[in-house]
């Protein structure tokens, strides 16, 4: 190390010591005004009993508290000053750690860098560069794919998921009626079926015929039911067969009538059936009942 | 002139301010069990008087509504009014059966149960006596579950019916015998 550098370092050290010796601005005490403010007078817990009212605190005591609170602020400033002095005094300046930025760089390193050949960037260091426009991007993709051996047109064909012909809609066909209603072609037939013989009964051809029973040997003649004699209406209009859409007005609710022919546990006497007594008024029935057993 | 319908609207009024229940006069809402205990302790004769007094109120109300049409009221109309007032008392649902010439009242769903059948019979007697001016006897013929059946008879018929019932004759046979004895 030269004498010039030593002189510079000494001058720097002296300047540092000079600056550290200057007093630093002290921070104001925290909420000094608030600390010196007298504490609020507590409200009495029981206003009815003034004897239990505590005495309010003296404002002097509040100032003492404020002074005690301000002391830690002063203490906190002291270590900063001492640390500044100690850090400078205990600083061990070694020649190896000092880097003189004022020195002019030597020409030897530059020559060394110039002698080296520029290295080619590794393959992984090639960063993709954003294409300026769509054409450049497509060309870049095409170039990359050419390197991989694939041939695709540069211009992307239109997607095939464009407007397509809708599949043919199956015609709406009324579902077949249930099995028990399969024979009914319309409402009239449906109504007629209510009067038709039950399923499994004799067919119209069997009506009026004689069926020979195998076991007993007796003959059974099936009579034609009466409902077959009444011919169905030739052409009934829908209005005639359909129910009225407007419901009739409900009748006023009336109390249920009274006489409930509930047979007693023992059989109802036969004498009751032969009677022809038909009272029209309640008093008539009452008088008749009162006359029983007389 | 037709018979007026039974209209229970505003029949029972609760005056919560004064703590009163009004049904053509002051009424009390008492527990059915408490009333039964009182009836058991009172004995037959006081119980009959108490029931007839209750029935008298029913008959009076019916007669007040029907007026001159009381005698011309049909069976259904009379049962409508009688049954409506019995229902307002909370004694159950009243209906009528006619067996030949015999008039039978059926009370269904009385909260008094079988223990209150004597009280129910007395109520019916008092109602008919006050409403129609007839001295009647309600004879308990049968009770099944919540249904009690009373025959409305005269004094002679009631005596015979009770005697037959006491012998174990079924009520249907009792009615049949009454028809033959008439």
* Interchain pair B80, A255: CB under 8 A: yes
Q: Does B153 touch chain A (CB under 8 A)?
A: yes
Look at B153 and A262 and tell me if their CB atoms are within 8 Å. Answer: no
* pLDDT recorded at residue A278: 87
**Angle (CA) A112 A116 A121, round 5°:** 140
What would the pLDDT profile of A88-106 be if each residue is shown by its tens digit?
445 555 555 555 555 444 4
Say if residue B127 is exposed, middle or buried (CB neighbours under 10 Å; 0-12, 13-18, 19+): buried
User: Tens digits of per-residue pLDDT, A180-196?
Assistant: 554 544 555 555 555 44
What is the overall mean pLDDT for chain A?
58
Q: Taking residues B153-181, what's their average pLDDT?
A: 93
Region A280-285: what's the mean pLDDT? 92
- Cβ pair B182:A266 closer than 8 A: no
pLDDT band per the 50, 70, 90 thresholds, residue A241: very low
User: What would the pLDDT profile of B53-104 be if each residue is shown by its tens digit?
Assistant: 999 999 999 999 998 888 899 999 999 999 999 999 999 999 999 999 999 9
Q: Which comes out higher in pLDDT, residue A70 or A173? A: A173
Report the DSSP pairing between strands B20-22 and B102-108.
unpaired
Q: Calculate helix-pair angle for B117-132, A282-290, nearest 10 degrees.
A: 120
Rounded to a whole number of angstroms, the distance between the first and last alpha carbons of chain A is 157
C-alpha angle A228-A231-A237 in degrees, rounded to nearest 5 = 130
Helix (H, G, I), strand (E, B) or coil at B140: strand
> Cβ B154–A290 below 8 Å, yes or no?
yes
Return the percentage of chain B with pLDDT > 70, whole number. Answer: 98
Q: What's the pLDDT score for residue A27?
A: 56
For residue A292, CA distances in Å to A88, A98, A177, B36 come to 138, 143, 64, 32
The better pLDDT of the pair A267, B92 is held by: B92
| Residue B128 pLDDT | 96
CA–CA separation, A64 and A39 (whole Å) = 12
Q: Give the C-alpha separation, A87 to A70, whole Å.
A: 28
Count of CB atoms situated within 10 Å of the CB of A203: 8
- What is the rounded distance in angstroms from the CA atom of residue A184 to the CA atom of residue A94? 117
Q: Do A285 and B103 touch (CB under 8 A)?
A: yes
**How big is the CA angle at A193 (ends A191 and A198), to the nearest 5 degrees?**
150
Q: How far apart are CA B10 and CA A282, in angstroms?
A: 27
Which of chain B's residues have a Cβ under 8 Å away from the Cβ of A263?
172
Distance of alpha carbon A125 from alpha carbon B28, whole angstroms: 104
Q: Which of B75, B80, B100 sits opposite A277 (nearest CB)?
A: B100
Residues with Cβ within 8 Å of residue A62, at least 6 apart in sequence: A35, A36, A37, A38, A39
Q: Could you tell me if B125 and B138 are in contact, meaning their C-beta atoms sit under 8 angstroms apart? A: yes
Q: Is the pLDDT of residue A50 over 50?
A: no
Domains of chain B: 42-181 (3.30.1380)
Search chain B and give the residue with CA nearest A280. Answer: B74
From A250's Cα to the closest Cα of chain B, the distance in A is 18
- How far apart CA B101 and CA A278 sit, in angstroms, is 9
pLDDT at A137: 80
What is the complex's ipTM, to 2 decimals? 0.93
CA distance B146 to B92: 9
pLDDT given for residue B156 in this prediction: 95
Q: A240 vs A165, A236, A244, A245, B97, CA distance in Å?
A: 48, 6, 9, 12, 43
Cα of A271 to nearest chain B Cα, Å: 7
3-state secondary structure of B83: helix
Residue B44 has pLDDT above 70, yes or no: yes
Both tokens of B57, joined, read: 């109120």
Q: Which of B98, B151, B170 sits opposite A259 (nearest CB)?
A: B98
Among B95, B134, B142, whose Cβ lies nearest the Cβ of A260? B95
Give the chain A residue nearest B102 (alpha carbons): A289
Does the pLDDT of residue B166 top 80, yes or no?
A: yes
Rounded mean pLDDT, A216-220: 48
Q: Chain A contact for B151, CB < 8 A?
A: yes
Cα(B143)–Cα(A17) distance, integer angstroms: 123
What pLDDT shows up at residue A48? 42
Mean pLDDT along residues A210-236: 50
**Cβ separation A293–B159 shorter than 8 A:** yes
CB contact under 8 A, A294 and B156: yes
Confidence of residue A277 (pLDDT cuts 50, 70, 90): confident
- DSSP code of residue A125: G
C-alpha separations of B135 from A30, B64, B66, B130, B154 in Å: 108, 19, 19, 9, 7
Residue in B closest to A265 by C-alpha: B172
Residues of chain A neighbouring B70 (CB-CB closer than 8 A): 283
Bridge partners (DSSP) listed for residue B150: B105, B140
State the pLDDT at residue A197: 46
pLDDT of res. A209: 63
Measured between its terminal Cα atoms, the distance across chain B in Å is: 35
Average pLDDT, integer, range A148-174: 61
Q: What is the rounded CA–CA span in Å between residue B180 and residue A293?
A: 8
Q: Which two tokens stand for residue A19?
A: 């600056």
Q: Would you state the pLDDT for residue A150?
A: 58
Give residue A100's pLDDT: 54
Find chain A residues with C-beta within 8 A of B156's C-beta. 293-294
Residue closest to B84 by CA, chosen among B131, B122, B116, B117: B131
Q: Could you say which DSSP state residue B163 is in?
A: H
Question: Phi and psi (nearest 5°) for B169?
Answer: -70, 135
Per-window interface: B 43-62 vs A, CB < 8 A? none
pLDDT band, very low/low/confident/very high, at B129 (cuts 50, 70, 90): very high
Q: Label residue A26 by pLDDT band (50, 70, 90).
A: low
B113: pLDDT strictly greater than 90? yes
- The pLDDT score that the predictor gives to residue A62 is 40
Q: Which residues of A241-272 are buried (b: 16+ CB within 10 A; e: fewer)?
A: eeeeeeeeeeeeeeeeebeeeeebeeebbeeb
3-class secondary-structure state, position B102: strand
B10 touches chain A (CB under 8 A): no
Q: Which residues from A are below 8 Å from B97, CB to CB?
A: 258-262
Q: pLDDT: is B117 or A201 the higher one? A: B117
Contacts of A272 in chain B (CB under 8 A): 99-100, 175-176, 179
Q: What mean pLDDT comes out for the span A239-267?
A: 51
């Amino acid at each position: 190390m030269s004498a010039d550098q030593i002189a510079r370092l000494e001058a720097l050290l002296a300047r540092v010591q000079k600056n550290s010796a200057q007093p630093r601005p002290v921070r104001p005490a925290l909420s000094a005004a608030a600390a010196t403010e007298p504490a609020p007078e507590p409200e009495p817990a029981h206003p009815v009993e003034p004897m239990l009212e505590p005495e309010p605190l003296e404002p002097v005591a509040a100032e003492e508290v404020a002074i005690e609170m301000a002391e830690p602020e002063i203490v906190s400033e002291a270590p900063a000053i001492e640390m500044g002095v100690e850090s400078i005094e205990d600083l061990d300046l070694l020649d190896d750690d000092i880097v003189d930025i004022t020195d002019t760089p030597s020409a030897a390193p530059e020559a060394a860098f110039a002698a080296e050949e520029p290295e080619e960037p590794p393959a992984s260091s090639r960063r993709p560069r954003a294409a300026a426009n769509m054409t450049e991007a497509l060309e870049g993709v095409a170039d990359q794919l050419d390197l991989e051996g694939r041939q695709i047109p540069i211009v992307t064909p239109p997607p095939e998921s464009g407007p397509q012909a809708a599949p043919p809609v199956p015609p709406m066909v009324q579902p077949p009626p249930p099995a028990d209603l399969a024979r009914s072609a319309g409402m009239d037939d449906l109504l007629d079926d209510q009067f038709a013989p039950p399923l499994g009964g004799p067919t119209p051809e069997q009506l009026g015929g004689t069926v020979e029973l195998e076991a007993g040997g007796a003959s059974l003649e099936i009579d034609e039911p009466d409902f077959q004699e009444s011919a169905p209406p030739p052409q009934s209009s829908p209005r005639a067969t359909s129910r009225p859409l407007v419901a009739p007005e409900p009748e006023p609710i009336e109390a249920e009538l009274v006489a409930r022919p509930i047979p007693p546990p023992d059989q109802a006497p036969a004498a009751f059936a032969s009677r022809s007594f038909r009272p029209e008024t309640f008093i008539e029935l009452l008088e008749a009942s009162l006359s029983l057993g007389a | 002139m037709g018979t007026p319908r039974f209209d229970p609207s505003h029949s029972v009024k609760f005056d919560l301010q004064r703590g009163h229940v009004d049904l053509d006069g002051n009424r009390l809402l008492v527990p059915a069990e408490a009333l039964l205990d009182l009836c058991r302790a009172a004995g037959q004769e006081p119980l009959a008087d108490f029931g007839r007094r209750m029935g008298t109120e029913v008959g009076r109300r019916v007669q007040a509504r029907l007026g001159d049409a009381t005698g011309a009221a049909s069976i259904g109309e009379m049962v409508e009014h009688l049954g409506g007032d019995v229902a307002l008392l909370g004694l159950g649902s009243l209906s009528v059966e006619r067996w030949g010439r015999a008039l039978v009242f059926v009370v269904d769903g009385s909260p008094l149960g079988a223990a209150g059948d004597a009280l129910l019979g007395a109520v019916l007697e008092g109602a008919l006596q006050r409403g129609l001016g007839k001295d009647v006897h309600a004879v308990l013929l049968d009770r099944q579950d919540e249904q009690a059946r009373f025959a409305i008879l005269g004094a002679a018929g009631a005596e015979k019916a009770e005697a037959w019932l006491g012998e174990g004759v079924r009520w249907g046979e009792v009615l049949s015998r009454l028809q033959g004895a008439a």
